[in-house]
Amino acid sequence: NPFRLYGIRTLLSGTLLPSPPIGEGAPELLRAIVAEGHELGIHGYDHVRWQDCLERMGEKGIETELKESASAYDRLLGSRPASSAAPGWRCTPLSLKVQEKFDFLYASDVRGSCPFLPVHEGQAFRTLQIPTTLATMDELIGRQDNINGFLLSSLRAGLNVHTIHAEVEGRPYLALFEGFLEEVSRQNVEMVTLREVAQQILKRGSDTVPHLPVTRGSVPGRSGWVACQGAA
């Protein structure tokens, strides 16, 4: 039920109603998140524009989106963002190229299995990609009777990256998400920030990171294409 999942305001935003500025609308909350030891990055300036129009935006349009996001971050937190995650897991060779100008510590633009450095037609990009490795809760709703059981069974040795959404896990499915966190804690799963992961990887040197292409694919429970980590 999309009305239960997202709420009427979210569903109408960008259609019948103007989209509100999410980050700039809650500056104190963002500062509190950082103060409590969590990390923040950017996730597009206009989520819908990026997700729906990326292939038509061109180099200038892509750079403007990233600049707007970075500027908003700086206004709120007084520093430049160290990371970026593409809306809808959508990126192109051009967006990866433009992203290089911002010197992010890492990006999380794709779905995949392990950290890597993207390559395209012989061109190597220097921004480390840390992919989402697990299904998201909204992809599993209506498809899995035991969502937490499915997620827990998907955990594997090494790095697992789980993307959550404030409008899903933070609202109607908060209790379910809390149950997931309690169970992974009981299993002694170590929780780390992606910043820590990136710093550890880059400290070892980029030659220890696989260089892999970025392809297009689909994910069960999610409409449209997503960028995926390709094979060597």
- Tens of pLDDT, residue by residue over 64-87, are 999 999 999 999 999 999 999 999
Does the predicted TM-score (pTM) go above 0.85?
A: yes
Region label for 51, one of left (φ > 0), alpha (ψ between -120 and 50) or beta (otherwise): alpha
Whether 28 contacts 67, CB under 8 Å: no
DSSP state of 79: S
In this prediction, residue 1 has a pLDDT band, given cuts at 50, 70 and 90, of: low
Mean pLDDT of the chain: 92
170 pLDDT more than 70: yes
Q: Which CATH number fits domain 2-229: 3.50.50.60, 3.50.40.10, 2.60.40.10, 3.20.20.370?
A: 3.20.20.370
Q: Which pLDDT value is given to residue 25?
A: 76
Beta pairing partners, 136: none
- Determine contact, residues 131/110, Cβ cutoff 8 Å: yes
**Reduced to 3 states, what is the DSSP secondary structure of residue 26?**
coil
Q: Where are the alpha helices (DSSP H) in 1-125?
A: 2-6, 8-12, 27-35, 47-77, 93-99
The domains of the chain are located at: 2-229
pLDDT at 4: 59
Q: Is residue 139 within 8 Å of residue 222, measured between CB atoms?
A: yes
* Of residues 171 and 12, more confidently modeled: 171
